[in-house]
A and B are shown apart, each in its own frame.
Chain A
Amino acid sequence: NAGVTQTPKFQVLKTGQSMTLQCAQDMNHNSMYWYRQDPGMGLRLIYYSASEGTTDKGEVPNGYNVSRLNKREFSLRLESAAPSQTSVYFCASSQNLNTEAFFGQGTRLTVV
Chain B
Amino acid sequence: EDKVVQSPLSLVVHEGDTVTLNCSYEVTNFRSLLWYKQEKKAPTFLFMLTSSGIEKKSGRLSSILDKKELFSILNITATQTGDSAVYLCAVRKGGSEKLVFGKGTKLTVNP
Contacts and interface: CB of A to CB of B under 8 A. Distances in A.
A55 B43 CA distance: 23
A97 B42 contact: no
B88 interface: yes
Contacts of B94: 97
Interface residues of B, number: 25
Interface string A66-107: 000000000000000000000000101010011111111110
Interface residues of A, number: 29
B45 A100 contact: yes
B67 interface: no
Interface in A18-77: 31, 33, 35, 40-45, 48-50, 56, 58-59
Nearest to B103: A42
A92 B48 CA distance: 16
Interface in B44-73: 44-45, 48, 50
A45 B98 contact: yes
Interface string B1-38: 00000100100000000000000000000011010000
A55 B6 CA distance: 28
B99 interface: yes
6 contacts: A42-B102, A43-B88, A44-B101, A90-B43, A92-B99, A106-B41
Interface of B: 6, 9, 31-32, 34, 41-45, 48, 50, 88, 90, 92, 94, 96-104
